[in-house]
Amino acid sequence: MVAAQKQSTPGGLPALEALPRSAWSPATQTRWRDGVEVTEQYAGIRHTVAGSDFTFLLAVARWKKDDQMFWRYAFVAHDPRRTDAEAVMARHRLKGAKEQLFKEVLRGLDLHHPPCANGLLPWAAPRPTLDPDCSHGRGIFP
């Protein structure tokens, strides 16, 4: 685990880019669900928000396609008992995949909007939604 202090601004990535190679897992070639091949690496860091004394752990994944020059990063805050950044990120991705399955089921049953958002409750007035896929005709998008 590498201790890294970075500010919570877009300019905070240099702290990650400055991590030594030994902080990152070995680079692996991975094929994503959409068929894209990427090079991935993982690291664990301690993060302190600017102006705070509180430090928490982040699992960091970085990846890039062969034709890209710069790494892209993803972060997941996690429990201190978990030490394998790659396993933390894998669990997080699995959670997202399961949520997508539930989303598809809810859409199939037309339950993806709570009743109050649809104006089905007598005390809830219909209101516009930002959901462009809204099938109830109250969306604000054409």
Residue 48 domain-assigned? Answer: yes
Give the pLDDT of residue 101.
67
Give how many domains the chain has, as a whole number: 1
Task: Find the domain containing 88 and state its range.
Answer: 2-118
Residue 8 domain-assigned? Answer: yes
Encoding tokens for residue 105? 């089921």
Residue 74 domain-assigned? Answer: yes
Residue 132 domain-assigned? Answer: no
DSSP 3-state assignment of 39?
Answer: strand
Handedness of CA 72, 77, 81, 87 (dihedral sign): negative
Encoding tokens for residue 56? 């928490």
Residue 76 domain-assigned? Answer: yes
Residue 22 is classified by DSSP as G
Burial class (CB in 10 A: 0-12, 13-18, 19+), 16: buried
Residue 142 domain-assigned? Answer: no
Give the pLDDT of residue 9.
36
Residue 11 domain-assigned? Answer: yes
Give the pLDDT of residue 29.
92
Residue 140 domain-assigned? Answer: no
Give the pLDDT of residue 133.
55
72: Cα separation from own chain's centroid:
12
Give the pLDDT of residue 130.
54
Give the pLDDT of residue 37.
92
From the first residue on, what is the mean pLDDT of each consecutive set of 10 residues in the chain (142 residues)? 40 71 90 87 84 83 88 83 82 70 70 55 52 50 40
